[in-house]
């Protein structure tokens, strides 16, 4: 498939750094608007992505029982170094080009597949049940290489303009008791399998149909996904929340606190409070009146959940 707008891989003359002179890159934004995604763009340098991987693995080594819940939904409320990654200057410059200058970080999540892992993510649009307008831009940061062989993400171009018919199912994909929307009849003839190197970022519209298969390699597949939401956006259901990374708060979302370290108990408690106050998170789906919100949490808080 042709690379969208010629932005498949930025060359020396249109490297992300060069875009700092022209953050509102019309070509980049037009390609994203048309295709619903951008081919992998090198953003993090080799040492930068290695340092991010080391922070992740060091936490897993020190607190192996906590990694599964702490690396899940809104992990940006738990780790200051995750927020630092989301604020990476080249990354934010690109995000600004795509969604404008007022930027909320409404989610951060690690998606790791061990060697030989059968974990898959079925075809879906992230905002199928709670729609957000203007749309959220997702940045898939490849911490390791991400390929069809190791369960890398695939997308279906030009599927972001409407919500496709879906079914709601409870799955254990990555998490316990997760209710998710899965597209019933995705146009598989148009699937684009992406090949990302460590440090590359794949941007896609949260409504672009995407998914990923099992890790058939002998190596870890690791990615960190960020949801960047324009502060001017509104949700179709309830009120969302996010950390204001840049620009103005326009009052449409609740403001979330920033973490002060490496998964401190007070930050885990703050994340719990965020979910309690803003249960209609696009990642967790809409909730009926009084319906409990479930999300992976610290063991001392798990017992409190329904
Ligand atoms: O990491 C992946 O392969 C896809 C993850 C994903 O789509 C999700 O968490 O919603």
Question: Which mean pLDDT values do the consecutive 10-residue runs of the chain (306 residues) have?
Answer: 32 39 70 96 98 98 95 96 98 95 98 96 94 97 98 98 90 64 95 98 98 98 98 95 98 98 96 91 77 73 59
Query: What is the whole-number distance in angstroms between the Cα of residue 24 and the centre of ligand 1?
Result: 28
**Pocket test residue of 75, 111, 191, 285 for ligand 1, highest count of atoms within 8 A of CB:** 111
Question: Which residues, listed in sequence order, are joined to residue 243 by a DSSP beta bridge?
Answer: 105
Per-residue pLDDT, 22: 54
Cα angle, residue 205 at apex, residues 134 and 140 outer, rounded to 5°: 130
Per-residue pLDDT, 6: 30
**Which residues, 6 or more positions from 141, have their beta carbon under 8 angstroms from its beta carbon?**
43, 44, 49, 52, 85, 91, 199, 200, 201, 223, 224, 225, 226
Q: Residue 182 phi/psi, 5° resolution?
A: -125, 130
Decide: 130 and 237 in contact? Cβ < 8 Å: yes
* DSSP run (H or E) holding 276: helix 265-277
Q: Of 82, 97, 36, whose CA–CA distance to 243 is shortest?
A: 82
Q: Among positive and negative, which fits the CA dihedral 31, 36, 39, 44?
A: positive
Q: Of 64, 72, 67, 65, whose CA–CA distance to 295 is shortest?
A: 72
Q: Please report the atom of ligand 1 found closest to the CA of residue 212.
A: 3
Instruction: Tell me the helices (H) and strands (E) count for the chain, helix number first.
Output: 7, 15
Please give the DSSP secondary-structure letter assigned to residue 3: P
Q: How far apart are CA 137 and CA 209, in angstroms?
A: 13
Q: Please report the atom of ligand 1 found closest to the CA of residue 173.
A: 9
Per-residue pLDDT, 282: 87
Query: Does 202 sit in the ligand 1 pocket, CB within 6 Å?
Result: no
Assign 34 to helix, strand or coil: helix
**Which residues, 6 or more positions from 65, have their beta carbon under 8 angstroms from its beta carbon?**
299
Assign 264 to helix, strand or coil: coil
Query: Does 111 sit in the ligand 1 pocket, CB within 6 Å?
Result: yes
Per-residue pLDDT, 172: 63
Q: Give, using CA atoms, the residue closest to atom 10 of ligand 1.
A: 126
**C-alpha of 185 from chain center:** 23
Q: How many residues does the chain have?
A: 306
Question: Which residues, listed in sequence order, are joined to residue 187 by a DSSP beta bridge?
Answer: none
**C-alpha of 39 from chain center:** 16
CB atoms within 10 A of CB 194: 21
Q: Residue 252 phi/psi, 5° resolution?
A: -85, -20
Please say whether the structural domain 36-302 has been given the CATH code 2.60.120.620: yes
Query: Does 208 sit in the ligand 1 pocket, CB within 6 Å?
Result: no
pTM metric for this prediction: 0.90
**8: exposed, middle or buried (C-beta count within 10 Å: 0-12, 13-18, 19+)?**
middle
Decide: 173 and 120 in contact? Cβ < 8 Å: yes
Per-residue pLDDT, 49: 98
């Amino acid at each position: 498939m042709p690379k969208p707008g010629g932005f498949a891989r930025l060359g020396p003359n249109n490297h992300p750094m060069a875009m700092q002179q022209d953050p509102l890159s019309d070509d980049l934004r037009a390609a994203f608007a048309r295709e619903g995604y951008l081919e992998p763009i090198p953003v993090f340098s080799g040492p930068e992505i290695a340092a991010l991987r080391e922070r992740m693995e060091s936490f897993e080594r020190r607190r192996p029982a906590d990694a599964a819940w702490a690396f899940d939904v809104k992990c940006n409320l738990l780790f200051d170094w995750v927020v630092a990654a989301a604020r990476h200057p080249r990354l934010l410059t690109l995000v600004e080009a795509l969604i404008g200058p007022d930027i909320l970080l409404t989610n951060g999540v690690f998606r790791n597949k061990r060697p030989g892992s059968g974990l898959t993510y079925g075809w879906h649009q992230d905002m199928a049940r709670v729609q957000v307008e203007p749309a959220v831009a997702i940045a898939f940061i490849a911490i390791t290489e991400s390929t069809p062989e190791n369960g890398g993400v695939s997308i279906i171009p030009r599927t972001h303009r409407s919500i496709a018919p879906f079914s709601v199912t409870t799955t254990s994909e990555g998490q316990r008791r997760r209710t998710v929307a899965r597209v019933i009849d995705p146009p598989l003839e148009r699937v684009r399998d992406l090949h990302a190197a460590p440090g590359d970022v794949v941007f896609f519209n949260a409504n672009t149909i995407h998914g990923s298969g099992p890790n058939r390699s002998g190596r870890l597949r690791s990615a960190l996904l960020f949801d960047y939401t324009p502060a001017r956006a509104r949700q179709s259901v309830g009120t969302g929340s996010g950390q204001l990374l840049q620009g103005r708060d326009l009052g449409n979302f609740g403001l979330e606190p920033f973490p002060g370290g490496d998964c401190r108990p007070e930050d885990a408690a703050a994340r719990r409070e965020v979910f309690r106050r803003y249960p209609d998170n696009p990642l967790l789906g809409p909730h009926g009146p009084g319906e409990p919100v479930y999300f992976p949490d610290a063991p001392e808080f798990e017992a409190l959940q329904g």
